[in-house]
Structure 1
Amino acid sequence: MESFILFDYATLRFIWWLLLGALLVFFALTDGFDLGIAALLPLVAKTDNERRVVINVVGPVWEGNQVWLITAGGAIFAAWPLLYAASFSGFYLAMLLVLVALILRPVGFKYRSKIKTSIWRSSWDAILCFSGFVAALVFGVAMGNVILGVPLGFDSISLRIIYEGNFFQLFRPFALLAGLLSVFMLTMHGASFLTIKTEGSIQERSRSYGIACSILTFSLFVIGGFWLKNLDGHVIVNNLDHNIFSNPFLKMVEVTKGAWLLNYEKVPVTCLAPIFGISGAFLAFLGFVKRNYRVSFLGSSLSISGIIISVGVSLFPFLLPSSLGDSSGGLTVWDASSSHLTLWIMSIVVVIFLPIVLAYTSWVYRVLRGIVTEESVKENPNSY
């Protein structure tokens, strides 16, 4: 069977690291504006009809957008089983909080208009806002903790995961900054989508909040970059064979201040990622100011992609660094993956089905193009 595998083990591991990053970017670009719009709901829509308009902007597409998150979770489970086990153990309560938020969202969409009273609908609007804000915050806090390192280790014989942290340790200053960056980044994206899909008062309020969120995204990302220079990072100091079986104890790791910036020196072209993160937020700001809302959406998309890719570039080859200082040093691309054959079979599946998914998604957005107005919502009996 090995003779039919076109790529060596190390290459397939790297390919799946790229695919995992792509899935996270796709999720942030699609479901990200859903979460951002939900967080902005009570701010950009003041009347019941306005809130129905905002909800109907994302109502037809949020389920398809959330599939990218499910796909990313499935990819981690199949391609990086040690990462899946370690992250879901260490971030169990945080994951549960995200799960609750994501469960409340569809319930809010379905039940909001079942009873025509202001208290009922306002309560569900608050729940939708909560779901968008909390999910965006926890995603960012989790990513900030990955950069800081997670207090996990492994039993040297069975590779059983040992997690020594607790829920409240997740809320460290840098992690909170990452959480706020995630919130403002996604609300910027949500505001840019609303300005394209709505008109009148909703569009104007979305523009105002989009300007503020783009400035905050730009500022927090720059602050985070300077902060990163003073954080401890991990460096592999031995010559590790990237084609051997997965075992976190085969590497030697050294903790060095500023190590998360070394990849930008080794491969200068990767500096494009943070440049896109910064310039995208600035482009979104200009689009909002000039009322060129397609430019705003392009800028927010560019900023989100650049910020997420920057995290991946900074950490590479680490997937989940450990803060315990033990010999394993956490998990990397080279020691946390499934078998060579498993990665190859998964690659074939991706080559077949990913173009189909992308084509269908593009078709859906083409069919649903155009703005959502109060009149169109009132005329459509199936609207939320």
Structure 2
Amino acid sequence: MFDYESIRLIWWVFIGIVIIAFALTEGFDFGIGTLLPLLGKTDIERRVIINSVGATWEGNQVWFVLLGGAIFAIWPPVYATLFSGLYVAMLLLLFALFFRPVGFDYRGKIENPVWRNAWDWGLFIGGTVPPLLLGVLVGNLILGLPFHLDADLRSFYEGSFLALLSPFALLCGVIGLLITSLHGALFLKWRTEGVLHQRAQSAVAKIGPVLLVALAAATAWVFIGIDRPEITQMAGTAAPSNPLNKSVLAIGSGWAQHFQTYPWMILAPVLAFSGLALAWLLGKNQSTKGAFLCSCVGIIGLLLTVGFGLFPFLLISSVDPRSSLTLWDASASYSSMLLSFWITVIFLPIVLLYTRWVYKIIWGSITEAKVIKDSHTLY
């Protein structure tokens, strides 16, 4: 039904959908964690903030697990290179995520201010460190990672954790944190009333302009100061996977030229900037749903910008451009991808429909009165 070339491209789209779902849902979860000790001044206010995502944070985090599994199944060389080369960064990410389930579940077990305050800062770490590290990862995907493949297609990583923390990558990390903070503040504003609603609105007003300036700086940096490799020859988009069966120029036509070659891709950065700008402008005023939806559009546009900009690369090698991995030469076998495709076609719509149903059922404002009334069931 599908040839090898088509199924590879389809899976690039599928995994992009999973990344977007993860960013949109886990994004406001992370933002809530970051804002928790900053906007919640009393225990009951912090309980309101926590319970704004209390019914959905576990399901949202499953998208991250699904993403890791999908990369493992569809692009094994990418999984091997990322999870072995970035071992320290991945461990820090996982250790930070450990604070989330424990913090949510154990914070309310003891009515002690010291105990609860400690877990509040644990949730802060769990909401702040992951988007920061994931932003650094995106920055390094754009810059390229120092790995190469030998004749047996074994991946060798030549860098270190500190080498990942270049100025551009750190800027991307800050952008990741600002985006989740804005997204979380908009979600909290939508789901709360009174003083927390006002504080969330104030947070949106402060975060928005900083985010837009940082994003503009990163965009200019990419187009002006970062080289993009260019594939000059490859075995073919339907050939068996072998990343070394291609020729790559270390310095190609550039990121700006890449978008000019495919003019329709310009829509992605336009969506990113306009969506986030509207989210800020609407969010600092009275809009709730509209501002949050604009934030979603902006995040989708930003992710599409990165994906389109890298296409067809998945991982760029900064030390051996020929070893760079693309969606055409780093995929699993045709039969594995086809089987995974049918499994996804059946179950992904069910997951999306169930997620939509859950949000519909639990939706409504979270207030102090509601938290006090349902103290035995809420966090």
SS of 1:383's equivalent in the other structure is: coil
Percent of aligned pairs with the same amino acid: 45
Deviations 1:110-142 (A, max 9, x none): 111111111111110011001100011001001
Amino acid at match of 1:277: A
Confirm whether residue 186 of structure 1 aligns to residue 180 of structure 2.
yes
Distance 2:143 2:99 in 1: 30
Q: CA deviation at 1:265?
A: 1.2
Amino acid at match of 1:215: P
Contact 1:49/1:374 (8 A) holds in 2: yes
Confirm whether residue 242 of structure 1 aligns to residue 260 of structure 2.
no
- State the partner residue of 2:254: 259
Task: Mark the runs of 5 or more structure 2 residues left unpaired by the alignment.
Answer: none
- State the partner residue of 2:190: 196
**Structure-to-structure mapping, 1:144-293, within 5 angstroms:** 144-156=139-151, 158-229=152-223, 230-256=225-251, 259-293=254-288
- State the partner residue of 1:336: 330
Contact 1:215/1:281 (8 A) holds in 2: no
Q: CA deviation at 1:211?
A: 1.8
SS of 1:233's equivalent in the other structure is: coil
Confirm whether residue 25 of structure 1 aligns to residue 20 of structure 2.
yes
Q: CA deviation at 1:358?
A: 0.8
Q: Aligned residues, how many?
A: 377
Confirm whether residue 89 of structure 1 aligns to residue 84 of structure 2.
yes
Contact 2:136/2:170 (8 A) holds in 1: yes
1:76 pairs with one of 68, 71, 74: 71
Q: CA deviation at 1:259?
A: 2.2
2:11 pairs with one of 3, 8, 16: 16
Structure 1 residues 268 and 326, CA, compared in 2 at 3 Å: closer, same or farther?
closer
Amino acid at match of 1:307: L
Contact 2:248/2:322 (8 A) holds in 1: yes
Deviations 1:270-310 (A, max 9, x none): 11111111001111112123311111101111111111111
Q: CA deviation at 1:213?
A: 1.9
TM-score where L is the length of structure 2 = 0.97
- State the partner residue of 1:129: 124
Amino acid at match of 2:205: I
- State the partner residue of 1:348: 342
- State the partner residue of 2:311: 316
Distance 1:33 1:258 in 2: 37
Contact 1:231/1:258 (8 A) holds in 2: no
Structure 1 residues 160 and 366, CA, compared in 2 at 3 Å: closer, same or farther?
same
- State the partner residue of 1:3: none
1:104 pairs with one of 72, 96, 99: 99
Amino acid at match of 2:280: F
- State the partner residue of 2:360: 366
Structure 1 residues 340 and 261, CA, compared in 2 at 3 Å: closer, same or farther?
farther
Confirm whether residue 307 of structure 1 aligns to residue 306 of structure 2.
no
Distance 2:125 2:66 in 1: 24
Q: CA deviation at 1:258?
A: 6.0
Q: CA deviation at 1:263?
A: 3.0
Q: CA RMSD in A?
A: 1.1
Contact 1:262/1:314 (8 A) holds in 2: no
Contact 1:231/1:257 (8 A) holds in 2: no
- State the partner residue of 2:57: 62
Contact 2:230/2:252 (8 A) holds in 1: no
Amino acid at match of 1:163: Y
- State the partner residue of 2:44: 49
Contact 2:229/2:321 (8 A) holds in 1: no
Amino acid at match of 1:21: G
1:377 pairs with one of 367, 371, 378: 371
SS of 1:299's equivalent in the other structure is: helix
Distance 2:114 2:28 in 1: 26
Contact 1:233/1:258 (8 A) holds in 2: yes
Confirm whether residue 34 of structure 1 aligns to residue 29 of structure 2.
yes
Amino acid at match of 2:236: D
Amino acid at match of 1:321: I
Distance 1:206 1:171 in 2: 31
Q: CA deviation at 1:382?
A: 1.1
Amino acid at match of 2:309: S
SS of 2:251's equivalent in the other structure is: strand
Distance 1:261 1:296 in 2: 30
